[in-house]
Amino acid sequence: MAVEDVIVESWYMMQMIQAFLQAPVYHIVIEVLLIVWIIGLLFSKSYRIQERVQLTEKEKEDLLAEWKPEPLVPDTPEDHPALHPRVVSGKAGLKVVVDGKECLNLATLNFLGMLGNKRIEKAANTALYKYGVGSCGPRGFYGTVDVHLDLEDKLAKFTRTEEAILYAYGFATIASAIPAYSKRGDIVFCDEGACFAIQKGLLASRSKVVYFKHNDMEDLERLLKEQAKDDKKDPKKAAVTRRFVLVEGIYLNYGDIVPLPKLVELKYKYKVRIFIEESASFGVLGDNGRGVTEHFGVPIEDIDLISANMEMSLASIGGFCCGDSFVIDHQRLSGQGYCFSASLPPMLSVAASEALLIMEEKPGIFEELRTRCKWLHAKLSSIPGLKVCGEPISPIMHLQLAAPSGHAEDTTKLEIICNECMNQGVALTVARFLEKEEHLVPPPSIRVAVNVELTEDDIDHATSIIANVAKTVL
Amino acid sequence: MVGGGKNTLSGSAPTANGHVKESNGFIPHSNGHVPHYKDDKIKKMSQESFEPVPLLVACLTYLGYGMLVLFGYFRDFLRKSGVETTHSTIERKKMRDFVPLYQSFESFYTRNLYTRIRDCWNRPICSVPSAEFDVSERVSNDGNWHLRLTGKSKRCVNLGSYNYLGFAEKSGPCADAAAGALQQYGAGVCSTRQELGNYSIHEELEQTTARFLRVEDAVTFGMGFATNSMNIPALMGGKGCLILSDELNHASLVLGARLCSTVIKVFKHNDIEDVERKLREAIINGQPRTHRAWRKILIIVEGIYSMEGSIIKLPDLIRLKKKYGAYLYLDEAHSIGALGETGRGATEYWGVDPRDVDIMMGTFTKSFGAAGGYIGGSKRLINHLRAYSHSTTYACSMSAPVAQQVITSMKIIMGEDGTNRGQLRIKQLAANSKYFRQRLVEMGFIVYGNDDSPIVPVLLYMPAKIAAFSRELYQQNVGVVVVGFPATPLVESRARFCLSAAHTREMLDKVLDAISDVGDRLQLKYSLNPPTKGVFAEECYRQVDCLSHEA
């Protein structure tokens, strides 16, 4: 068999060689060329569209000369309200002098009347003559004054937390706190109605942001469930992905209260940490003004971080975060607005301290405030053509048009109402937003703020003016 | 590279002398015509020294960090095995099955390196931070994990606070005026500038600031950090904008640039050639991938860099920005009040027109002894910011007494109070800076930065010397700032002295003796440069003496 095969094979070879020899020369030449071409194709580099062309010096110069930048900023419309601000001269207490006219103040967020309090002014004055005005340095480099430490202690005791940390600017507080913990790759579930400071903090953190419907715990749970599903698919990644929920105690832009007990339930169920922005609820909610946790009777230990500014109830400047030392202490090296900014002027720190002391001495003040909120809420609700947005016990209420007809148009109408009320002695302001920058622009509204010093007569008087003006404008 | 000691003193005296006459009746260039600077003057002005680290020192420094890391791991091991007690805080039990809040390697440095020497930072003070201050004493019973106040304090010379013109005062015209504003307006504001927080005092502050800066208009904000981080996004928002940023820019500028969501390119510190290269490349190549032309390009720099003591080469930058059509953002946090014949900052120092800088930003924290920040520029720019700045829309306005402190101190600097006290402060600061720096160079320390800068960084290099330097000087009643990694490169730990007009020469002499003594004991006199000729103190202080005689 084997011998036979060999013979057959060699026979074929013989035949091939014979055929090769007999073939015409041109045939061989063409075949060889074809083979060379195929080999050439195999080894040649693939064709590239983006052939790198070196520009000549002249072309470069032309490009440089041709480039015309846009103007640094566009022209601002002449009628932009920010270019024609109302000028306040003197203290913006219960009464405020706006453009030379004395008005009842329903515009500034001085809930407890601490702005204008003589005792606070006296304490701040004493501090001014002891420490000067500025602290001339960040906390790390001799900008820590004993009054800062004192205020941090007081705030921690007041809120019943382990530690508090001070910031020099209210806006920077939550905006610095968020990126101190939440990093790239982490997930933040945020209420879509959250204020601008939170939005900027989220942007700075570079975390993945998932917005849930405003104050809608079911929507939040749906998103958390989805996340849990994804986590199961990739448990390795899930084990290092921190999860946070960001809410406000009382929403600055809506005046409603976060349903905290439900949120705490979700926290332990889905292992998410809760950060609350309490600027508008600190010194407002709860029997002792401790905020939304006290309001719902939720233990404050269940909240990972509470942030609030001292520019509303405390009527000073700056802000603070409080919580467990394990959490808060981290900001002393990682909170950008804490580390890299000059510390709060000592006199403002003392002003906040004194206001806190007054809050502790007069716990009845919070109930008084809520009573006034309810009065005003009820009165405003009865005005035809306007709608009140927010909880009755919230000192921030948003007056919207009952029949909205478009953002710009509504804003103009509300603007006219404010101006007319101002002429008649009631200071009001439209809530201002950067429409292009907001995640979700709230409907146009007049932000009404309640001051604890308002009497029932004041409220009657103010609401009747608003009602009259609204009637003529709408 | 090396700032020769020889030419500086003798060289600059005549120039400075010539300026004194001019400054008495100031307004040098209000008509827009700017005397073009001469090249030799520029050369003299940009006398900056950055002596490289000696090789042996660099090796030893790395070795030091290596040892610290090894010991860190060893102690972590001891803590884990329970031999050493753990003092750091632990998360609640309830939270055990949550994803850990911190990554473990993140805190390694803090736990094992920072904690050991944390008493050198955050020292509380209990007085006004003027030329001298009371520093509270702290003790620790658990290896620096917790520091406890003893209740006692120590009077120290203050070389740490940014109190350049000495306006951190607890009495005098500024304090009185601030007290008046407190009576009139109260401490807080409780509203934003766009709502009902626009006080007449804010408008006065802005007019005064614009006048001081010699720009069309200015807008002010409650926090210096936020002035950068909340306004840059209002300028460079949207796609197609490019930001060119100095590698050593302050965290607030970096944050502001990041919040723009645009492309950021970083150039080498104060390196004009690198700026030009990057600028040309950017314009020629356009945006990445699409190659569309950039909409606008913004160069962001600082007047004086607070860790280096270097002064930005402004005339060159202005030349570049005009040539290529970029915009210039100048952060004068440390230079306003501290540079220039009348304290008007980097533009005056270099003799350039402030209107050539598109965005003049600065803070009130340092030279004015207050808090907050400003942006000055064209009417159009300021109108835009009033309308679209994140700060004017959403943040609480500046506290009235703080604003008043700025107004009063600024008027004193401008001489609007009818005295030459402001001038005297500026001259005293310049003399102090020059004298202090020259003496340190003479002693053989490696000193960074510009000869005219009131910030004087002295290199310490080794991690152990950071703490030793700070503690030793504290023992001798001198409060200094020391900085190490991550605020500086790993091998460039340093001490930073901030001079003030409030310091007297006697004070500085005392401090210099203490520094020299500590420097000998810690072997900090690293400089390999040939020793400089003696320092002529009288030369430094001549102008101050002249002025005080006039007064």
Express each pLDDT in B460-490 by its tens digit. 999 999 999 999 999 999 999 999 888 888 8
Contact A72 B197 (CB under 8 A): no
Q: Which of B379, B396, B408, B410 to mutate to test the interface with A (most CBs of A within 10 A)?
A: B396
List of chain B residues whose C-beta atoms are within 8 Å of the C-beta of residue A98: 196
Given a cut of 70, whether residue A50 has pLDDT beyond it is no
Q: Give the closest residue to B226 by CA, choosing from B198, B252, B261, B254.
A: B252
Alpha carbon distance B353, B357 (integer Å): 8
Tokens of A151: 């205020």
B510 among known catalytic residues: no
Sign of the alpha-carbon torsion through B153, B159, B160, B166: positive
- Closest by CA to A418, choosing from A446, A376, A458, is A446
Total beta-carbon pairs less than 8 A apart between chain A and chain B: 368
Give the torsion through C-alpha atoms of A85, A86, A90, A92, to 10 deg: -100
Alpha helices (runs of H) in B53-156, residue ranges in sequence order:
55-80, 104-109
Whole-angstrom CA distances from B522 to B118, B461, B518 are 19, 12, 6
Nearest to B402 among A92, A115, A133 (CB): A133
Q: What is the average pLDDT value for chain A, to the nearest integer?
A: 92
The residue whose two tokens read 């809530």 is A431
Which residues of chain A lie closer than 8 angstroms to B198, CB-CB? 85-88
Question: Which H, E and C letters describe B453-506, residue by residue?
Answer: CCEEEEEEECHHHHHHHHHHHHHCCEECEEECCCCCCCCCEEEEEECCCCCCHH
Is the four-CA dihedral B60, B61, B64, B65 of positive or negative sign?
Answer: negative
CA B111/CA B103 separation, integer angstroms: 13
Strand partners for A245: A189, A274
User: Residue B136 is nearest to which of A89, A125, A146, comparing CB atoms?
Assistant: A146
**Mutant choice from A56, A64, A73 vs B, greatest count of B C-beta within 10 A:** A73
pLDDT at A174: 95
Percent of chain B whose predicted confidence (pLDDT) is above 70 = 91
pLDDT tier for residue A191 given thresholds of 50, 70 and 90: very high
B154 catalytic residue (yes or no): no
Of B89-98, B243-252, B384-393, B404-413, the least confident: B89-98
H helix or E strand, kind and range, residue A236: helix A235-238
The pLDDT tens digits of the residues spanning A417-436 come to 999 999 999 999 999 999 98
Residue B5 has pLDDT above 70, yes or no: no
**Amino acid B45: pLDDT:** 58
Tell me how far CA of residue B501 lies from CA of B13, B168, B349, B428, B505, in angstroms: 19, 11, 18, 5, 10
Question: d(Cα A312, Cα A293) in Å, to the nearest integer?
Answer: 18
Q: What is the model's pLDDT at position A268?
A: 94
Mean of pLDDT values over B180-194:
95
Q: How far apart are the first and last CA of chain B?
A: 40
A352: helix, strand or coil: helix
Give the pLDDT band (50/70/90) at residue A254. very high
- Grade residue B396 by pLDDT with cuts at 50, 70 and 90: very high
Residue whose tokens read 């600027």: A279
Q: How far apart are CA A310 and CA B515, in angstroms?
A: 42
pLDDT over 70 percentage in chain A: 96
In this prediction, residue A287 has a pLDDT band, given cuts at 50, 70 and 90, of very high
Query: Amino acid identity, residue B180?
Result: G
Q: Which of B334, B390, B434, B465 is catalytic?
A: B334
Note whether B154 and B137 are within 8 A (CB): yes
| B96, B230, B397 from B223: Cα distances, Å | 38, 10, 9
Residue B378's pLDDT is what? 96
Residue type, A305: L
For B449, half-sphere exposure in the C-beta direction (CA atoms, 13 angstrom radius) is 31
Report, as an integer, the average pLDDT of B157-178. 95
Identify any residues that bridge with B135 across adjacent strands, giving them in sequence order: B125, B154
Q: What is the pLDDT of residue B35?
A: 41
In chain A, what residues touch B380 (CB-CB under 8 Å)? 71, 73, 75-76
Q: Which residues fall within 8 angstroms of residue A189, CB to CB, at 6 or more apart?
A: A210, A211, A212, A220, A223, A224, A243, A244, A245, A246, A272
A91/B185 touch (CB, cutoff 8 Å), yes or no: yes
- Is a pLDDT exceeding 70 seen at residue B10? no
Which of B162, B198, B225 lies at the smallest CB-CB distance from A88?
B198
Residue B526: both structure tokens together? 């690293």
Residue B95 identity (one-letter amino acid) = M
- Please answer yes or no on whether A70 and B179 come within 8 Å at the CB atom: no
A235 touches chain B (CB under 8 A): no
User: Which residues are within 8 A (CB) of B202 and not within 5 positions of it... i.e. 6 or more apart?
Assistant: B193, B220, B397, B398, B403
CA B166 – CA B131 distance, rounded (Å): 7
Q: Which residue has the tokens 């920072």?
A: B114
Per-residue confidence band for A25, with pLDDT thresholds at 50, 70 and 90? confident
Asked if pLDDT for residue B441 goes beyond 50, the answer is: yes
A254 CA: distance to closest CA in chain B (Å): 15
Which pLDDT belongs to residue B88?
A: 82
pLDDT at A422: 94
B62 to chain A, minimum CA–CA distance in Å? 24
Q: In sequence order, what are the beta bridge partners of A398? A: A389, A447
Give the amino acid at B431. A
Percent of chain A with pLDDT over 90: 84
Q: How confident is the model at residue B21 (pLDDT cuts 50, 70, 90)?
A: very low
Average pLDDT value for residue range A350-357: 96
Can you read off the two tokens belonging to residue B295? 């909409």
Looking at residue B44, what is its pLDDT?
A: 54
| Dihedral sign for Cα atoms in the order A239, A240, A241, A243 | positive
Quote the CA–CA distance of B537 and B551 in Å, as a whole number.
21
Of B123, B200, B385, which has the smallest distance from its Cβ to A144's Cβ? B123
| Phi, psi values for residue A21, rounded to 5° | -65, -35
Could you give the CA distance from residue B152 to residue B26 in angstroms, rounded to a whole number?
48
Q: Which of A267-276, B106-115, B403-412 has the lowest mean pLDDT?
A: B106-115
Question: DSSP alpha helices (H): ranges in B264-378?
Answer: 272-285, 314-324, 346-350
Residues β-bridged to residue A101: A98
Residue A48 burial (C-beta neighbours within 10 Å; 0-12, 13-18, 19+): exposed
Q: Which of A351, A408, A416, A427 is nearest to A385 (CA)?
A: A416
**pLDDT exceeds cutoff 60 at A236:** yes
- Percentage helix, strand, coil for chain B under 3-state DSSP, each rounded to 5: 45, 15, 40
For residue B106, the model assigns a pLDDT of 66
What tokens does A246 get? 């960001």
Q: Does A438 touch chain B (CB under 8 A)?
A: no
A375 CA: distance to closest CA in chain B (Å): 22
Closest CA in chain B for residue A59: B284
Please answer whether residues B175 and A121 qualify as being in contact, where contact means their C-beta atoms are separated by less than 8 angstroms: no
Mean pLDDT, chain B, rounded, equals 88
Q: Which of A124, A137, A273 sits opposite B161 (nearest CB)?
A: A137
SS3 A463: helix
State CA A199 to chain mean position distance.
3
What per-residue confidence (pLDDT) applies to B9? 33
- Segment B59-83 mean pLDDT: 91
More confident residue, B90 or B366: B366
ipTM field: 0.89
Write down the catalytic residue from B321, B366, B411, B465.
B366
Structure tokens at B110: 């803090």
* CA-only gyration radius of chain B, Å: 24
The answer to whether residues A107 and A429 touch, using CB atoms and an 8 Å cutoff, is yes
The C-alpha R_g of chain A, in whole angstroms, comes to 34
| Alpha-carbon A391 to chain mean position | 21
Residue B22 predicted with pLDDT over 80: no
- Reduced to 3 states (helix: H, G, I; strand: E, B; else coil), residue B335 is coil
> What is the structure's pLDDT at A7?
63
| Edge-to-edge strands, sheet with A386-389 | A386-389, A396-401, A446-449
Judging contacts by C-beta atoms under 8 Å, the chain B residues touching residue A171 are 223, 226, 230, 390-391, 394-396
Average pLDDT over residues A267-280: 95
Q: What is the mean pLDDT of residues B205-210?
A: 96
Calculate the CA dihedral of residues B151, B152, B157, B162 and round it to 10 degrees. Answer: 0
Q: How confident is the model at residue B41 (pLDDT cuts 50, 70, 90)?
A: low
CB B130 within 8 A of CB B158: yes
Residue B6, min C-alpha distance to chain A (Å): 34
CB B380 within 8 A of CB B235: no
Q: How far is residue B179 from each of residues A124, A133, B400, measured CA to CA in Å? A: 9, 10, 10
The predicted pLDDT at position A5 comes to 63
Which of A202-211, B1-10, B295-304, B518-527 is the least confident region? B1-10
| Cβ–Cβ under 8 Å, residues B317 and B356 | no
If you search the block for the tokens 């802005």, which residue do you land on?
B206
- Name every residue whose Cβ is closer than 8 Å to that of residue A424 and which is 6 or more positions away in sequence: A465, A468, A469
> Omega before B486 cis (within 30°)?
yes
Q: Tokens for B171?
A: 């009495």
Mean pLDDT of A243-248: 96
Residue A151 or B97, more confident: A151
On whether the CB atoms of residues A316 and A351 are closer than 8 A, the answer is yes
